[in-house]
A and B are shown apart, each in its own frame.
Chain A
Amino acid sequence: METLLPRHLDEALAATAAHPEATILAGGTDLMVAVAYQALRPAVVIGIRRVPELQEWDGRFIGAGVTYSRLERGPFAALAQAARTVGSPQIRSAGTIGGNLGTASPAGDSLPFLAALDAEVLLRSQAAERALRWDEFITGPKRTALQPGELIVGARLPEAIPDRQAFAKIGTRTAMVIAIVSCCVLRWDDGTTRVALGSVGPTTVRPRAAETMISTERRPSSAALDEFARLVSAEVSPINDHRSTAAYRRHASGVLARRLLERVL
């Protein structure tokens, strides 16, 4: 196994250009599980922890190397809460937002916040730079539009981010769980509401009909909240697996979205 440890973004991009099929190692919280339990044996590994540009967090730009423990202390309440629910403190000190994007698990904890904001994912190769909206970047469960030679540089958030935001995640123990359902709700002062849910579809789900319906409700009645929950449940597409059932996930999606909305009203 060849290991490259670039010290600057230019070096990192040169490394990915020279080894377009290389495996990128950031926090290693997903990759090392694959090494230990799926016998992944990459030929070339590019470790990007030492690349200072990827550690940057400048307003609306969050570098790919920003760890969950930094996100926990950041200014965005829902993202901070999402980061707080990731693994143990040790995992949060290692895992990064770029890794969460790169793995593209339907259960990725930072993804509902990024999806609710229609965040862009910034990608660079030696030849070019491009920005893809989150749903252009994540193309399926654990599938992305990342091309050989490209690096995830970070996520770019829109200027307008409401203060009223919340995130919650369902698991069957008090901490250290993979989401059975996760949900992020954002609400602007004009009523515009964005909702994103994890672990209830092949990628993060945006229940558009529910968003549209509730965005017109300035002071949603109890009946409107019920309808909102019903629409959320109708729009998710969960599966049965060893962690939960489709029926529970569908039910819990509506309950959780409604509770979060009530918290931000």
Chain B
Amino acid sequence: MTITKTPTVVAGGVGTSPIRPDGIPKVRGEFAYSSDLEVDGMLWGSTVRSPHARARIVSIDVAPALAIRGVAAALTIADVGGRGLFGLIEPDQPVLADGEVRFWGEPVAVVAADDRETARIAATAVVVHYEPLDPLTDPERAEELGETFRVLDITRGDPDARGEVVVEGYYEVGMQDQAQLGTESGLAIPDGSGGVDLHVSTQWLHVDHEQVVASLGLPPEQLRLHLAGIGGAFGAREDISLQIHLCLLALRTGRPVKMVYDRAESFVGHVHRHPARMWFRHEADRDGILRRVEARILLDGGAFASTSPAVLANAAYFAVGPYASESVTVHAAAARTNNPPCGAMRGFGAVQSCFGYEAQMDRLAAALGIDPVELRLRNALDREDRIATTGQVIVGSLPTRRVIEALRALPLPDEAPGDDPRRLPGGTGLTTSRAAVMRGVGFAVGIKNLAFSEAFDDFTEVRAELTADGIRIHTAAAEVGQGLVTVIQQIARTATGISNVEVVWDHTGEIGSAGSTSASRQTQMTGGATLRACEAVAAVALARADAESLDDEGAWRDDQLVMTLADLVAAGPIEHLERFRHPPTTPPDEHGNGDVHAGYAVAAHRAIVDVDPELGLVHVVRVDTAQDVGRVLNPQAVIGQIEGGIMQGVGLAIMEEIVIDRGVMKNASFTDYLLPTFLDAPDMTAVLIEEPDHWGPFGAKGVGEPPTISSTAAVVAAIRNATGRDLNRAPVRPEDIVGL
């Protein structure tokens, strides 16, 4: 019998929005998150944390904890057999405090017990004698003292270049929390022969693996990290939290150990967005062309390095934003203090700078009497231009002008606020009638690098395999909820023609690193590796069958099925292991110049706000956006990233801030750390600008971070526009608007 093919495009391929495989289980509560893991006979772990921002540890006595019935272990730094320090870039943080605690909430000891309650009680029973020391909490003082994780000085062009119009400004950004819904959690299971399997929610299995084996003092093959179900990340899971603790406890007790942080512990259990203090001086000629930009950027890195050196680099490299300037001086420093450690969060340093340089662009526009959007257009970077700070020539796409023009072209809604309190400042508190409301509009543009920078060897492994049922993709990439699993499937379908694609999450012993799920990189990196691996598999299959195309049934030639998938595989395995790298980058030279970045994306946001100036309350009415996405692989997922990213930007603009007093966190709960609710969500319209990039699959760019870069700046600009106040700080607080 001859089967004749009807030509079709493979269902669920690139450019469509197929249902994500984890979507329905998550909505129905059936998805197993890392906090749902259970195994017979497991113990529960708990952490003893410092009540001081800085103190000398005089003594630790774990005996009272061990005396409690049901307690199996109580460990301190003395029990760490391998390297006592961990850290993503440089190991500087003790696995458990070593002689001194350096931030409020630092882990001092860990315990394991038969149940969660006994573990909690055991943690409180550990007696730690502290001698409190004066904490260093002012980052400016820290920089003066030379307490820095990195200082980056950038100079480019003629430092004596001058413009006719000069604006200066000082800006601050507060400490934002990722507030990922799933708290830190994991389960370590000893294998009975000295090794351990760790199931954990993380953004990067292999970098965790490196750090955990180092501290355990185990040969690498004796530790296997498995990806557990992840409830969001946003940077909070890039660093080690409980990974080493769990394995130490499991190996000591010989029993599986589980830990789950509660929300309060999660706030101290992961790093946060760096608070920033920034000074800018912009000089332009009368036409608005930037002639010189000077910036000083100070980030508070907190007690340990985490990713501070890399976050700082981003803040510094993007100090001018998506604008050209031939004369630039930037001094940037990440200070070491006794505040909570800061590190990765969506936007990774670019958010802070953008808040400053976009406020400066508005000031400059006002000083020049030029429309602020027009001023941005006149200075906008595009392909083949040079990044103002590094001098790097932009070889991929960077359609800044198209993005700005597309957003400007969106109609500006002019409907007045109604009487529904949910759409007024003050909301359901009924503080504000519409007569008290002033409206404002703000515009901001932001730029972000894609993937890792500064000569980092950034790669991803994917193994594609043809089976009798379809394609199987093996990866260690972290699906954190962003939808990578769907994009992998779509790319594999389009590359092979086969619609049945299964994604298998391999553990660290089965496949090489996928790199981090961060820096907006996985669609390009794991997606790029998937594309190449699938193309290789398809080529072998087509050659074996001497065929022209593949689908779920098999290989086709001249509209006839020549070999089924089962036949193809029976003739020998068809698989391909791809190690994918993006174009190489260089370290910065002594002037902070160089080809440090692999690519860029740009987005613009226009916010409309209603403000009650007398009470200082804000309702964000709309945030419209245009975003450079390279190529849309999954329209629904892109819109999801944009909407979520804008919400995170709105949060930073008007409510999200961890309040620190003398190193102590004052609002470590969702009662007092306020996140926007659905009622705070503005209406949004998004325009996707497709100008293919030079290396992502099908020209795609990462889309996760750009929505958060300039949305905060746009909302605050709109509040300035409504109130006439300078407002140099995010989040804007009611007292800032009132002027108290």
Contact = CB atoms under 8 A, between A and B. Distances in A.
Interface of A: 33, 36-37, 39, 81, 84-85, 166-180, 182, 241-245, 247-248, 251-252, 255-256, 259
B428 interface: yes
Q: Is the interface of B mostly helix, strand, loop or mixed?
A: loop
A168 B431 contact: yes
A178 B615 contact: no
B2 interface: no
Given A177-B674, A256-B615, A244 B734 contact: yes
A175 B677 contact: yes
Nearest to B422: A174
Contacts, number: 98
A171 B429 contact: yes
Contact of B666 (A177, A180, A242): A242
B677 A255 contact: no
A249 B88 CA distance: 43
A172 B615 contact: no
Closest 9 CB pairs of A and B: A174-B427, A242-B666, A174-B679, A248-B735, A169-B429, A242-B659, A247-B740, A168-B430, A175-B428
Contacts of B676: 173
26 contacts: A33-B671, A85-B429, A85-B430, A167-B430, A168-B426, A170-B615, A171-B426, A171-B427, A172-B655, A173-B427, A173-B680, A174-B427, A174-B428, A174-B619, A174-B679, A175-B677, A175-B679, A177-B429, A178-B671, A241-B666, A242-B672, A243-B672, A247-B735, A248-B740, A251-B740, A256-B615
Contacts of B427: 171, 173-175
B667 A242 contact: yes
B616 A248 contact: yes
B285 to A, nearest CB: 41
A154 B666 CA distance: 34
B654 A172 contact: yes
A242 B673 CA distance: 9
A36 B262 contact: yes
Contacts of A180: 734
A205 B118 CA distance: 43
Given A245-B740, A251-B740, A256-B615, A173 B735 contact: no
Contacts of B680: 173-174
Contacts of A251: 738, 740
A169 B425 CA distance: 12
A172 B734 contact: yes
B120 interface: yes
A174 B677 contact: yes
A32 to B, nearest CB: 13
Contacts of A175: 422, 427-428, 677, 679
A248 B734 contact: yes
Contacts of A33: 671
Contacts of B733: 172, 244, 248
Nearest to A262: B433
A42 to B, nearest CB: 14
Nearest to B731: A172
B731 to A, nearest CB: 8
Interface string B652-686: 00110001010000110101101011011000000
A85 B428 contact: yes
Nearest to A243: B672
B43 interface: no
